[in-house]
Amino acid sequence: MSPKTSRIAAGVAAVLLLTSLAACTEDPPAPAPAPAPSATAVPEFDVRDEAAAAVLPLVPAAATSLSVTDLERVRLQLGVADLTGQAPPAERARFWARAERQAPLLTPGLLRPVEERLARDYGFTQDDVRWEARFDGPDGAGWVLSFRLGIDMAVVQRAVRDRVGILAGAEVRAEDSLVVSGAADDGNGSWAADPALAALVGSPADATYVERGCVEAPAGVDTAGLDELEAWSMALQGGLATARLGELRSDAFARLRLGETWPARGTAFTDGFRDGVADPSTGRVGYRLIDPVVGASLVRDRVAPFAACAD
């Protein structure tokens, strides 16, 4: 190799070496910025949801109990699915007479005390309500009426302005066909924001009761083997009743057995519910609903052995 060629080769090697060293001493590239966390969606009312699930965004977070009656399903069960406030009074009266004898009405029909005036002066009645709910808690009670889609909510608004019966002081949410009293204004401040409560509802039912907390057992009932219970629900549908206690309940069978010996206060638990079964993995306790009216009365009175507080 000639001296000139050697000098050129050495120069090229030196340039490559310096380039390599420079590359090694450069700061590593900055990591890509992490994507901004997405905002948590605000729970909102959805008219398509099952009644007890639909009402959760309207129940204030401080509430402790909720009762829902799905009147649409009750009408379907009794064979009058198309009944509305436009039906003849005698037909509507026959429905309610049957419902009071055969259906688990956890709420009584909030508009019924004034429906004669509503029908005469405003053209709607209790039979235009799809479902209704009542809730209670330390901040007071409230309620929700979900009207059938297509009803003229301006007429309902007029009855509210005229302070007819329970509608006095209520709020009309026309876009959702709702009339509410004491309801949550923001889904983030409602029961829908609590996954534990949301998990207790959603299956179709004629009536559903949900409670935050547990039921104090009568004196003499041994609850030492129970785990703590934060919330529970009971859904009444057809000839079945399903209690939900939250998933993975190792005490499900112990809670089931309490119903066999729970002291009666007039009406015994077994007068409404029998043949219980339990599933610890889902936290469900199921019964045969032998009398829907008695069953609803027991739930309203919180005769619920499966929901007993632990010692």
pTM recorded for the entire structure: 0.86
Per-residue pLDDT reduced to its tens digit, 242-263: 999 999 999 999 999 999 889 9
Mean pLDDT of the region 100-120: 97
Percent of the chain with pLDDT over 70: 87
| pLDDT for 36 beyond 60 | no
In this structure, of 7-11, 172-176, 306-310, the range with the lowest mean pLDDT score is 7-11
Higher-confidence residue: 35 or 21?
35
Q: What is the pLDDT of residue 225?
A: 87
Query: What is the rounded average pLDDT of the residues 102-117?
Result: 97
pLDDT at 40: 64
Domain coordinates in residue numbering, the chain: 51-185, 213-307
Distance from C-alpha of 115 to C-alpha of 190, rounded to nearest angstrom: 30
Please name every residue paired with 143 in a beta bridge, in sequence order, or none if there are none: 134, 181
DSSP secondary structure string, the chain?
Answer: --HHHHHHHHHHHHHHHHHHHHHHHSPPPPPPPPPPPPPPPPP---TTS-HHHHHGGGSBTT--EEEEEEHHHHHHHTT-TT--TTS-HHHHHHHHHHHHHHS--SS--TTGGGHHHHHHHTS--GGGEEEEEEEE-TT--EEEEEEPTT--HHHHHHHHHTT-GGGTT-EEEGGGTEEEES--SSGGGBGGG-HHHHTT--S--SEEEEEES-BPPPTT---TTPPP--EEEEEEETTEEEEE--S--TTHHHHHHHHHHPPPBSB-GGGTEEEEEEETTTTEEEEEES-HHHHHHHHHTT--GGGBPP-
* Mean pLDDT within 17-29: 40
Q: What is the pLDDT of residue 1?
A: 46
Q: Which two tokens stand for residue 228?
A: 């703590």
Is the pLDDT at 274 greater than 90? The verdict is yes
